[in-house]
Amino acid sequence: MKLDNNPLYNSVKEIWLAARQKVYRIANSTLLETYWQIGKLIVEDEQEGNAKAKYGKATLKHLSEALTAEFGKGYDYTNLTNMRNFYIAFPILDAVRQELSWTHY
């Protein structure tokens, strides 16, 4: 049964599509903020209050192993490095454009 010309169907469809888009924006914004916060914690831990991090510290390797064991994929060394670099590039969270996705950054 095709309902493309049905006003009720079209109204419900519009509401559903708008809701789905809203959920996407909220989820994306939350992910960006989460990754920014993780990057901030990594930088603060690495630097220990200093202007630069100490070399040779295996912070990301150990953190990656522990988070992957606990939460699964998504916390490998590369992703944690990206989160760290994200914070370094945007040290002020308000400078991050919430409408852009993580892949844009």
2 in any annotated domain: no
Asked if residue 79 is part of any domain, the answer here is yes
Classify residue 1: in a domain, yes or no: no
Confidence of residue 105 (pLDDT cuts 50, 70, 90): confident
Contacts of 101 (CB under 8 A, 6+ apart): 28, 32
CA nearest neighbour of 102 among 25, 43, 42, 48: 25
- CB of 28 closer than 8 Å to CB of 102: yes
Residue 60 included in any domain = yes
Place of tokens 């996407």: 24
Q: Is residue 39 one of the residues assigned to a domain?
A: yes
Q: Coil, helix or strand for 27?
A: helix
pLDDT at 4: 80
Domain that holds residue 30: 7-104
Strands of 1-105 (E only): list them. Answer: none
Give the model confidence (pLDDT) of 19-66 as tens digits: 999 999 899 999 999 999 999 999 998 877 666 666 656 888 999 999
Percent of all residues in the chain with a pLDDT value above 90, rounded to a whole number: 61
Q: Say whether pLDDT at 1 is over 90.
A: no
Residue type for position 20: R
Total domain count, the chain: 1
